[in-house]
Amino acid sequence: MTSKNENNASVPTSASNTPIALDDDDIPLETNSDPSLLPITSRHTSAVWSDFKRKRVGDVIKAECNHCSKLLAGGSKAGTTHLKDHIKICPKRVCQDLRQTRMFGTKKNLNDKNDTMTLAPYEFHQEDGRRDLAEMIILHEYPISMVEHIGFRKYSKTLQPGFKVSSRNTTRKDIMKRYELEKDNVATLLRKAKGKIALTTDMWTADNQRKGYMAVTSHFIDNTWKLQSRIIRFLYVPAPHTAEVLADALKESIQSWNLDLRLSSITVDNCSTNDAMMEILKGVFPYGSLLLRGDFFHMRCCAHILNLIVQDGLSAVVSNGVQRIRDSVVFWTASDKRVQRFEQVAKQIARECSRKLALDCKTRWNSTYEMLSIATSYKEVFVVLSARNNLYKNPPTPEDWEKVEKICEHLEVFSITTLNFSGTNYPTANLYFPKICALRIAISGWLLSPHDYVRKMADIMLQKYNKYWASVNGLMGVATILDPRYKMALIRFYFAKFFEEHDFEIEVGRISDLLRRLVDEYGSKMGKTQGSSSQQAFDLDSSSKSNEETFMQEFAEFLQQDKDSNCGDFKDDKYAKLVGELEEGFETCDIDSGTSGLCTE
């Protein structure tokens, strides 16, 4: 409806339905009966306004807290930062924003099986996620391309929508960054170590590429007197693997870590190429920096020598029987159906046996020992299955089982010694001398066996033993002397069993002379004599305690009878005092007391 004025102009009446246009900024989002309250308009986009209301106080616009009613600046130029800060510390605000916290499982210590759930603040960091992703790929040897798999990206998005999975190239850079960080940590650890550093190295061949790689590991004692082992290089060595090529690769690895002046020894396997390589390296490094001018620069791996001794003994007497048992294990583990068939018969015949068949690695004798020890417990099963399966041909003969069972009984001492030598969480140098002496006594005892094949095996083993260990490594003898349980007495005890009276004095004097030379060199480099009154006993745990306890009991009796000291052999009072301290200080103890039959005063 319209009306006309005097100029015939039409204007809308109050009943008109024509909409009136308003400014969007003036549209009130909230209304309140309090005239002092101002509306929250579309300009106030910050989430903080859900906890505040605008209020006019005199001529000033304030922001009033909905929880504590505190008035803060609320004008258009005041901003909202101070309002957010107030919300964080508002004493009356009870309901917190749960989106800022997460439920986390925490453990008071590593031994706890159950997590304690707590509500704690959570903040996501993209860098931490990338670091952990690179560490996961390194630890589990995953392919780097997995970061571009659709399933992995979907899974990561479900766990943390904010995490952006990096590309393959970025992940490769993260892995190399982690490598450089770990390399710096190892370099710092080596730099802080005060003593000498020993190295072990071996060649490794990749199955899929048939390429040769060299692994170099450092061994040292840190400033907290803890044993440390760190791999410092793993590098590709091109063929041919001659002594010169291996020497150049190892020299480059040592010099890249600046270990030229800190080497004590390098332990390698017993092969002619390694022998030639060590002769080359011995002339490369500074002559005066090596221990006793390089007398102990080349160390032979005792675990590898054990492997050679056992392999020679087995191949001489039961090589055919071992091969038939190996073929049987291969046959009955070739498929799931055969494994199920073997286990079905085993449950009926050998119920007390629960171990699964294990195939050995021909170059590791202890894996062969494990394979034989498991197979002998199922010998009746193999006999039954040989009559039921026509495809199972050439099973072990009764003579094979008899020989293998008897030989496994004798090889147990070698298995225990190998495990003791391979320990990483306790010192092993002091175990060397008593263990190899016990092996020699055991092998010599097998020469009196009523079985021809045992005597033959013992004779071959003793020949190989004497090739490497006829003369006890002097440095390992010194390590035994420094063990507070044994000192010089154990050297005299075992040498008395192995040598005649004249040779006995020569061998004991050789070890004593080496100890004297080590003391002289240490004193000349340190400039003063350092000593320690602390003593720590290490448990020589072994499952074959009968033989070891027998030797320790004999050792205790030897100490009671051997009252003579070698101090008179040294004219210098300094050495007389040193050897005198190494000769005394024992009391016999109960064998079951955990101190191997001895304790120090």
Length, in residues, of the chain: 601
Instruction: Report which DSSP code applies to 190.
Output: H
Q: How far is CA 181 from the centre of its chain?
A: 18
| Bridging pattern class, strands 598-600 and 2-4 | unpaired
CB atoms closer than 10 angstroms to residue 364: 14
Which of the pair, 285 or 181, is modelled with greater confidence? 181
Q: 10 has which bridge partners?
A: 4
pLDDT digits (tens, 9 = 90+) for 137-177: 999 999 999 999 999 999 999 988 889 999 999 999 999 99
**Which of the following CATH numbers is that of domain 193-300: 1.20.120, 3.40.50, 3.30.450, 3.30.420?**
3.30.420
pLDDT band at 197 (very low <50, low <70, confident <90, very high): very high
Q: What is the share, in percent, of the chain residues with pLDDT greater than 90?
A: 25
Q: Is the pTM of this model over 0.95?
A: no
Name the least confident of 87-91, 253-257, 275-279: 87-91
In the predicted model, what is the mean pLDDT of the chain? 79
Every domain of the chain and the residues it spans: 24-89, 124-192, 193-300, 471-601
pLDDT digits (tens, 9 = 90+) for 567-596: 444 444 454 555 555 555 444 443 333 333
Instruction: Catalogue the long-range contacts made by 457-464 (C-beta closer than 8 Å, 24 or more residues apart).
Output: 457/313, 457/314, 457/316, 457/317, 457/407, 457/410, 458/313, 460/312, 460/313, 460/316, 461/309, 461/310, 461/312, 461/313, 464/308, 464/309, 464/312, 464/313
- 2 neighbors 12 (Cβ within 8 angstroms): yes
| Mean pLDDT (whole number) for 289-302 | 83
pLDDT value, residue 570: 42
User: How far apart are alpha carbons 223 and 475 in whole angstroms?
Assistant: 22
Residues sharing a CB contact under 8 Å with residue 514, sequence separation 6 or more, in sequence order: 474, 475, 477, 478
pLDDT digits (tens, 9 = 90+) for 352-366: 777 888 888 877 888
Structure tokens at 536: 């720590």
pLDDT digits (tens, 9 = 90+) for 451-474: 998 999 999 999 998 888 877 778
The yes-or-no verdict on residue 44 having pLDDT over 70 is: yes
pLDDT band at 527 (very low <50, low <70, confident <90, very high): low
| Mean pLDDT (whole number) for 192-200 | 90
Phi-psi region of 8 (alpha: psi -120 to 50; beta: other; left: phi over 0): left
Single-letter code of the amino acid located at 80 = T
| Bridging pattern class, strands 598-600 and 197-205 | unpaired
pLDDT value, residue 271: 87
| Mean pLDDT (whole number) for 235-255 | 92
466 closest CA partner among 505, 439, 429: 439
pLDDT digits (tens, 9 = 90+) for 60-80: 889 999 889 899 998 888 888
pLDDT band at 542 (very low <50, low <70, confident <90, very high): very low
